[in-house]
């Protein structure tokens, strides 16, 4: 059931459900989350079950403010505090040492925990209302609200399509950022990006005065395997099938796409081209979608476009490789993972 997230009565209803161990489709500024009370192990286990996600794959815990981070994390280093101050609420997840005895199921049993304070007004209202309950809910464990390995949802309708009508989903409109939060590991001496997102290394360096390791910068970005060690500490989205639409995705430069289109000719079917460059397409069966020149706009629409291509029955998408520029790291990463899964 989708309910309008703007109404206070719906926020209260959602909090009651969370309090009683039910799951909630929660809008955030990045993507929709599948949320549960992080302190309720049975509820958190339901997230893993409904997503089809392996139990050792840790979830992000969402908190109302930096003050609430103390409930879940300990030994928070000064640079992590600076990051919270600069970027919370917002699309940044910090991996921190986990406080003993809290949210161990949500953390997949790891000694660390991923924390994020989302800025979406509906998420903020839910988190604050949860804190005001007679028996407070201190944080919400929420992975992206998609089946394991599939494209993250950026509309309430996407969440319903994944999990059916019995899940309560608060409608918060189209997610502004469109790709998942940047994840920064703050348990190492040098803070290290584990998943690129809107907030980049340069911004974090400027805010903290501390160098940030970015394995996704330039040359290394060609190889998504740079973060492919799920053990030490777990790296996000490392499985090949992550972010996979049903359609096969191929990343190519504009010239290769044009050369391929010229060979294919008018009989080609069930194909789409998603490109910034203008291309000559002679086949009426090939959908041509323009990719925005602005990386933020491209991120905003990326997952919706992939889902729409699936809905149209497109079997193959040729995507123009994003520019080799840090502002495109998040979009490039998601596209490389989508392309790696075929
Ligand atoms: O934008 C987002 O981050 C969205 C919204 C809903 O907040 N959430 C999200 O969650 O993308 P999820 O579960 O799909 O991705 C979380 C990633 C996982 O791939 C996991 O590996 C990583 O965060 N992660 C969580 N806790 C971690 C930890 N303690 N150590 C290392 N990685 C962790
Ligand atoms: Mg996800």
pLDDT in tens, 301-333: 999 999 999 999 999 999 999 999 999 999 999
Residue 342 neighbours by CB under 8 Å, 6+ apart: 244, 248, 249, 250
Q: In what helix (H) or strand (E) does residue 114 lie, and over which residues does it extend?
A: strand 112-116
Query: pLDDT at residue 241 above 80?
Result: no
For residues 219 and 322, membership in a common domain is answered with no
Higher pLDDT, 220 or 233: 220
Which of 31, 62, 143 has most ligand 1 atoms within 8 Å of CB, for mutation? Answer: 143
Between the CA of 257 and the centroid of ligand 1 the distance, in Å, is 34
Query: Which of the four pLDDT bands, split at 50, 70 and 90, describes residue 236?
Result: very low
Between the CA of 256 and the centroid of ligand 1 the distance, in Å, is 35
**Maximum Cα–Cα distance across the chain:** 67
For residues 44 and 151, membership in a common domain is answered with yes
**Number of domains into which the chain is organized:** 2
Between the CA of 119 and the centroid of ligand 1 the distance, in Å, is 16
Which CATH number do you get for residue 318?
3.40.50.11030
Ion ligand 2: protein residues whose beta carbon lies under 5 Å: 144
Query: Which of the four pLDDT bands, split at 50, 70 and 90, describes residue 242?
Result: low
Average pLDDT of the residues in 35-50: 97
Which CATH number do you get for residue 223?
3.90.870.10
pLDDT, residue 221, reads: 47
Residue 149 falls inside a structural domain: yes
pLDDT, residue 341, reads: 74
Query: pLDDT at residue 214 above 50?
Result: yes
pLDDT per position as a tens digit, 155-178: 999 999 999 999 999 999 999 999
Atom of ligand 1 nearest to the CA of 93: 3
Q: Which domain holds residue 325?
A: 248-340
Of 194, 227, 260, the one marking the end of a domain is: 227
Of 167, 193, 227, the one marking the end of a domain is: 227
């Amino acid at each position: 059931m989708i309910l309008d997230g703007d109404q206070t009565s719906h926020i209260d209803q959602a909090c009651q459900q969370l309090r009683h161990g039910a799951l909630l489709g929660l809008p955030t500024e990045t993507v929709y989350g599948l949320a549960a009370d992080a302190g309720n192990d049975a509820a958190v286990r339901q997230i893993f079950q409904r997503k089809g996600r392996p139990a050792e794959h840790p979830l992000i815990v969402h908190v109302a403010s930096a003050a609430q981070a103390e409930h879940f994390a300990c030994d928070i280093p000064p640079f992590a505090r600076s990051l919270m101050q600069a970027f919370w609420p917002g699309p940044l997840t910090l991996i921190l040492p986990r406080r003993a005895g809290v949210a161990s199921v949500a953390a997949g049993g790891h000694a660390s925990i991923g924390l994020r304070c989302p800025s979406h007004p509906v998420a903020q209202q839910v988190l604050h209302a949860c804190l005001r309950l007679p028996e407070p809910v201190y944080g919400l464990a929420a992975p992206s609200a998609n089946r394991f390995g599939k494209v993250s949802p950026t509309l309430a309708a996407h969440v319903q399509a994944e999990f059916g009508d019995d899940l309560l989903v608060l409608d918060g409109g189209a997610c502004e950022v469109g790709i998942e939060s940047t994840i920064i590991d703050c348990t190492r001496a040098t803070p290290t990006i584990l998943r690129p997102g809107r907030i980049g290394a340069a911004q974090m360096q400027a805010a903290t005065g501390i160098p940030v390791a970015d394995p996704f910068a330039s040359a290394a970005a060609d190889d998504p395997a740079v973060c492919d060690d799920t053990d030490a500490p777990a790296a996000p989205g490392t499985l090949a099938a992550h972010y996979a639409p049903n359609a096969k995705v191929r990343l190519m430069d504009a010239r290769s796409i044009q050369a391929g289109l010229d060979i294919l000719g008018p009989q080609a079917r069930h194909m789409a081209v998603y490109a910034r460059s203008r291309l000559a397409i002679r086949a009426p069966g090939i959908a041509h979608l323009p990719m925005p020149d602005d990386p933020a706009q491209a991120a905003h629409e990326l997952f919706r476009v992939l889902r729409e291509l699936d809905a149209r029955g497109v079997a193959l998408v040729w995507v123009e490789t994003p520019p080799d520029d840090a502002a495109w790291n998040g979009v490039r990463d998601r596209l490389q993972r989508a392309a790696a899964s075929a």
